[in-house]
Amino acid sequence: MGYGSRSEMAQLAKAGRITLDGTALSSASGRIKVTPDLPTRMKIDGQPIDPVAGLVMLLHKPLGMTCSHKEAGPLVYDILPPRWRQRTPAISTIGRLDKQTSGLLLLTDDGALLHRVISPRQHVKKVYRARLARPLDGTEAALFASGQLMLEGEAKPLAPAGLEVISETEARLTVTEGRYHQVRRMFAATGNHVEDLHRESLGGLSLPDSLSPGQWVLLTEAQIALIFQ
């Protein structure tokens, strides 16, 4: 879980910094049954431990950060507690937002959940707010909804997508696919250019107004279920 090596955890226990049900564990040699409520019962330095497995968080991704483990420059993983980099299995983003896109981003160590969310069969809706370089010409909504728009370099048309006009240069787009730079390429196909892009929601999950760029929150089981609504 990334809290430390076996010897480091033994030292924490001897120092009385690990508690279970309010009682300090003087030794790290005992065996403790892993139950769903363990994170609420066990604390390190007074703080509840992280979920043992199935960690799912919602991050307000800032601009300028990439969803990669290896690329140069600021990474979304830099925002997370350092111990989370040591977790096994590793934490990964559920899909990606490019460097110049902000908004709702999910991360997890649950591989089954990750693949379920990104599977085309699930048709999970993703809502983006886009600010455009040029005014909309009024033909975009019908084109995006037609299910016939073909992106350059691809052999299969896009699934129907919904467009809500906010102003002459701003729109909200709802898609159910996750193709490479899809939203930017859709507007490029109409002769326009996306200047700012922000993801507002994924499935039934919306980005909380209280969550500033760079902040994250762990999701409950009920909130995770909202993804598929």
Q: Give yes or no: residues 102 and 137 share one domain.
A: no
- 3-state DSSP assignment of residue 222: helix
154 located within any domain: yes
pLDDT of residue 72: 83
Q: Give yes or no: residues 100 and 130 share one domain.
A: no
Taking residue 71's Cβ as centre, other Cβ atoms within 10 Å add up to 11
87 located within any domain: yes
Q: Give yes or no: residues 67 and 40 share one domain.
A: no
Q: Give yes or no: residues 155 and 188 share one domain.
A: yes
Q: Which tens digits make up the pLDDT trace of 100-116?
A: 999 999 999 999 999 99
What is the spatial distance between Cα 82 and Cα 100, in angstroms, rounded to a whole number? 24
pLDDT of residue 210: 96
Note down the domain range covering 196.
Answer: 125-202
Report CA-CA distances (Å) from 7 to 4, 11, 29, 82. Answer: 8, 6, 11, 19
Tally the C-alpha atoms within 13 A of residue 25's C-alpha that lie toward its C-beta. 21
Q: Is 98 a catalytic residue?
A: yes
Six token digits for residue 7: 């010897």
What is the DSSP secondary structure assignment for residue 86, as one 8-state letter? G
Domain containing residue 215: CATH number: 3.30.70.580
50 located within any domain: no
Q: Which tens digits make up the pLDDT trace of 74-101?
A: 999 999 999 998 888 999 999 999 999 9
Q: Give yes or no: residues 104 and 36 share one domain.
A: no
pTM for this predicted structure: 0.90
Q: How many domains does the chain have?
A: 3
Q: Give yes or no: residues 218 and 108 share one domain.
A: yes
What is the spatial distance between Cα 94 and Cα 108, in angstroms, rounded to a whole number? 7
222 located within any domain: yes
Buried b (16+ CB within 10 A) or exposed e, 160-176: ebebeeeeeebbbbbbe
172 located within any domain: yes
Q: Which of 98, 109, 137, 209 is catalytic?
A: 98
pLDDT of residue 165: 98
Q: Which tens digits make up the pLDDT trace of 43-82?
A: 999 999 998 888 999 999 999 999 988 888 899 999 999 9
Q: Give yes or no: residues 198 and 129 share one domain.
A: yes
Q: Give yes or no: residues 82 and 28 share one domain.
A: no
